[in-house]
Amino acid sequence: MLGSGKTTFIQGFLRGSSERTVVLVNDFGKAGIDGDIFSADGIESIELPSGCVCCTLKFDLITTIEKILARHAPQHLVIEPSGVASPSGVVEALEVLAIRPFTVVGIVDAAEFLDLHEAQVFGKFFEDQIAQSDIILVNKCDLAGDEKATETVGLVEKMNPRAVVFRTVNAVLPEPLAEAGSRIRDAREQGGGKGDHFHFETVSLWLKSVVGYRDAEALFQGMIGGGFGGVVRAKALIQTDRGPYRFDLSSGRVDAVPFGQPVTENRLVMIGQGLKKEAVPDFLLRADV
């Protein structure tokens, strides 16, 4: 699910691990961002940007996994698909390669999942993500509140009664993933079609080499106000006049946190519908792209 905490979960899952792990990142936009975030955290990652591993990049996914296994021989491979991808396509690729065992971890945003589900904004797209998951994190429970979090857990368990469901804050599991996985039922549900892919638009923009922090902040606040179309998720790495920052828009709120290393290319990715690329002020944009 978009903005639910996938990157945060992977960072926490791998932090302190001594086993060699490679993260395969499928950013939806052309300006890949998550790969740099992992690298800044000392995590080995490989990117498959600009497309979706569940459809247009499925062949690339299969061949890339084969190369990773041959060249890096990792003890673990973590695949982070775009938040608008159906995980059934990734599962199919793993089955083609006869890779087992594997665990599908789904993450939902407790602060907005009920509203999106009730409005049927994404239809079967959400249902496929949840139905394919072995472990589901109902995340951001601190933002949702106890009543809403409890209702979200109940709905998720109804949609996938075989999954192990956890309430989480900052996508932190209360027990090791291996222990949680050991409680997963052996029988993985099959059939029921391949699931839907929700067709968001994506806009990738390269920004000037130094952007004023206030200007970047105003840009993201403008997205919340609808000035750039129906933005449901946005992220950026920006070298500002206050230093390098990572900006995230998710669940109708903006987070800006210092980034751990200089940003050599300022870039922004917006995901949503009816996006207005032309509304981004020219003084923020790099002229040579």
- pLDDT of 75-100, one tens digit each? 889 988 765 566 777 888 888 888 88
Count of C-beta atoms within a 10 Å radius of residue 68? 16
Residue 189: pLDDT band (50, 70, 90) is: very low
- pLDDT of 5-47, one tens digit each? 788 888 888 877 788 888 888 765 555 566 677 767 677 778 7
Per DSSP, the residues of 71-100 read: HH--SEEEEE--TTS-HHHHHHHHHHTT--
Question: What 8-state DSSP symbol labels residue 37?
Answer: H
pLDDT of residue 62: 83
Residue ranges of domains in the chain, CATH in brackets: 6-181 (3.40.50.300), 201-284 (3.30.1220.10)
d(CA 28, CA 203) in angstroms, rounded, equals 9
d(CA 44, CA 66) in angstroms, rounded, equals 16
Round to the nearest angstrom and report the end-to-end CA distance of the chain. 30
Handedness of CA 253, 34, 231, 241 (dihedral sign): positive
Bond preceding residue 101 cis, omega within 30 of 0: yes
d(CA 17, CA 258) in angstroms, rounded, equals 24
Angle between helix axes 124-131 and 87-96 (nearest 10 degrees) is: 40
pLDDT of residue 161: 83
Q: Which of 68-72, 168-172, 269-273 shows the lowest per-residue confidence on average (mean pLDDT)?
A: 269-273
- Which tokens sit at 38? 């992992």
* Paired residues of 243 in beta bridges: 240, 241
Q: Which of 140, 61, 77, 139 is nearest to 106 (CA)?
A: 139
d(CA 12, CA 135) in angstroms, rounded, equals 16
Phi, psi of 260 (to 5 degrees): -75, 0
- pLDDT of 236-266, one tens digit each? 999 999 999 999 887 678 989 999 889 988 9
pLDDT of residue 200: 63
- Which tokens sit at 176? 């090791």
d(CA 109, CA 4) in angstroms, rounded, equals 5
d(CA 209, CA 234) in angstroms, rounded, equals 19
Q: Which residues contact 202 (CB under 8 A, 6 or more apart)?
A: 28, 29, 30, 269, 270, 271, 275
